[in-house]
C-alpha cells in the first residue's frame, strides 16, 4: 500500500515535457504586454472577429485569434517561428473591429520585430523584405517598388532577372512605377528622427 502511494505521489510531481511551466507562460505574456499593441492582450475574449475579417487568413498557419491565445499559453517559439505575423497585410481591419480595442495590427508588427531581433524567422526572404522596406522608407520618406525589388530578388536567377527587368521597363514607360526612388524630404527627416529615437530607446 505504501509503495502504491509513493508511486502515485511521484507521478503527481512529474510534469509532462509538453506542458509549459506557468512561469514561462507568464513571462511571455508580460513580455508581449510591454510591446506596442500588446497592452490589452489579456482582454481578448476569443470572439473570432479579427480572424473572420482578415483578408490574408487563408495563407496563415494560425489565425489572429489563435495567435493571441498562443501568446497567453506561453507558446513563444511557435508564435515567433510561424508565418502568421509575416502574412499580416497591415490593413487594420482586425483592429477597427475588435470589441476590446486590441491593436492587433500593431502587435503583429511588434512580433515581427521581435522575431527578426532573435533570428527566428523561417524565411530569409521575409527578413530581406522587412528590413528593405524599413530602410527605403526611412531614407526616402516613401516606398520605392523598384528599390525594394532590387533588394529582395535572387541575383542568381538570371531568367527571373530578365523577366523582371523587362516588366519594370514596360511599367516605367506607362508611368506605373519610377525606376529611381523619389524622395519626400520632410517625411524622410521625420522618419529618420523616429528611427534614431527608437535605437536610443533600445540601448537604454
Q: What is the pLDDT along the chain (204 residues), one digit of tens a residue?
A: 444 444 444 434 443 444 445 557 789 999 999 999 999 999 999 999 999 999 999 989 999 999 999 999 999 999 999 889 988 988 999 999 999 999 999 999 999 889 888 888 776 666 777 777 777 877 877 777 778 777 777 777 788 778 877 887 888 888 887 777 777 776 667 666 766 665 555 555
Q: Is residue 15 a part of any domain in this protein?
A: no
Q: Is residue 71 a part of any domain in this protein?
A: yes
Same domain for 127 and 196? yes
User: What is the C-alpha separation between 40 and 43, in angstroms, rounded?
Assistant: 5
Same domain for 138 and 170? yes
Pick from 189, 181, 198, 81: nearest CA to 132? 181
Same domain for 115 and 130? no
Query: What's the grid cell of residue 125?
Result: 526572404
Q: Which one-letter DSSP state was computed for residue 142?
A: S
Instruction: Provide the pLDDT for residue 13.
Output: 41
Sequence length of the chain is 204
> Residue 60 maps to which CATH number?
1.10.1060.10
Same domain for 150 and 109? no
Same domain for 24 and 92? yes
Same domain for 97 and 132? no
Same domain for 105 and 40? yes
Query: End of a domain among 71, 86, 120?
Result: 120
7 Cα distance to chain centroid: 46
Total domain count for the chain?
A: 2
Residue 91 phi, psi (nearest 5): -85, -15
Same domain for 30 and 105? yes
Query: What's the grid cell of residue 24?
Result: 514561462
Q: Is residue 10 a part of any domain in this protein?
A: no
Pick from 72, 68, 70: nearest CA to 47? 68
Residue 83, classified by CB atoms within 10 Å of its CB into exposed (0-12), middle (13-18) or buried (19+), is middle
Cα distances (Å, whole numbers) of residue 1 to 6, 7, 11: 9, 10, 16
User: What is the C-alpha separation between 172 and 148, in angstroms, rounded?
Assistant: 15
Query: End of a domain among 59, 94, 120?
Result: 120
Q: Is residue 7 a part of any domain in this protein?
A: no
Query: What's the grid cell of residue 18?
Result: 509538453
Same domain for 112 and 96? yes
Same domain for 98 and 184? no
Same domain for 39 and 114? yes
Q: Which one-letter DSSP state was computed for residue 10?
A: H
Query: End of a domain among 91, 120, 149?
Result: 120
Q: What is the pTM of this model?
A: 0.62
Q: Is residue 3 a part of any domain in this protein?
A: no
Same domain for 62 and 107? yes
Domain that holds residue 97: 20-120
2 Cα distance to chain centroid: 54
User: What is the C-alpha separation between 109 and 72, in angstroms, rounded?
Assistant: 18
Amino acid at each position: 500500500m505504501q509503495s502504491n502511494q509513493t508511486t502515485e505521489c511521484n507521478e503527481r510531481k512529474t510534469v509532462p515535457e509538453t506542458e509549459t511551466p506557468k512561469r514561462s507562460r507568464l513571462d511571455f505574456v508580460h513580455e508581449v504586454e510591454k510591446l506596442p499593441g500588446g497592452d490589452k492582450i489579456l482582454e481578448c475574449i476569443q470572439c473570432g472577429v479579427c480572424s473572420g475579417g482578415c483578408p490574408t487568413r487563408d495563407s496563415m498557419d494560425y489565425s489572429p485569434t489563435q495567435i493571441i491565445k498562443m501568446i497567453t499559453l506561453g507558446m513563444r517559439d511557435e508564435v515567433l517561428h510561424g508565418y502568421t505575423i509575416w502574412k499580416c497585410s497591415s490593413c487594420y481591419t482586425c483592429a477597427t473591429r475588435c470589441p476590446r480595442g486590441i491593436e492587433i495590427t500593431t502587435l503583429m508588427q511588434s512580433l515581427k520585430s521581435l522575431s527578426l531581433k532573435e533570428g527566428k524567422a523561417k524565411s530569409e526572404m521575409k527578413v530581406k523584405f522587412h528590413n528593405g522596406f524599413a530602410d527605403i522608407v526611412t531614407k526616402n520618406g516613401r516606398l520605392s517598388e523598384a528599390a525594394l525589388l532590387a533588394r529582395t530578388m535572387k541575383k542568381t536567377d538570371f531568367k527571373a532577372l530578365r523577366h523582371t527587368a523587362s516588366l519594370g521597363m514596360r511599367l516605367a514607360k506607362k508611368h506605373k512605377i519610377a525606376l529611381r526612388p523619389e524622395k519626400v524630404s520632410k517625411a524622410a527627416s521625420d522618419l529618420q528622427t523616429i528611427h534614431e529615437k527608437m535605437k536610443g530607446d533600445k540601448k537604454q
